[in-house]
């Protein structure tokens, strides 16, 4: 059985972009399928993750899976 851990180098990010503020949003380490290791997140990051998911369509665009290195150039 394979488990996702944020302690390994992240290959992908799950990104929630703001619908109203360019360049704002949330990004969380994930695997290629977009699965986030929720148990490995700190309390604040976990709350932010659930908030972003709940606000899709209201404040944030649907999540996108992007290569982690792509976020370094943007």
pTM of this structure: 0.78
pLDDT tens digits for range 6-49: 455 569 999 999 999 998 999 999 999 999 999 999 999 999 99
* Long-range residue pairs from 19-26, CB within 8 A, at least 24 positions apart, any chain: 19/58, 19/59, 19/60, 19/61, 20/59, 25/52, 25/60, 25/61, 26/52, 26/60
């Amino acid at each position: 059985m394979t488990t996702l851990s944020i302690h390994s180098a992240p290959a992908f990010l799950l990104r929630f972009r703001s619908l109203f503020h360019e360049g704002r949003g949330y990004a969380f380490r994930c695997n290629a399928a977009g699965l986030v290791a929720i148990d490995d997140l700190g309390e604040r990051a976990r709350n932010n993750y659930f908030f972003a998911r709940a606000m899709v369509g209201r404040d944030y665009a649907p999540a996108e899976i992007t290569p982690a290195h792509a976020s370094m150039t943007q």
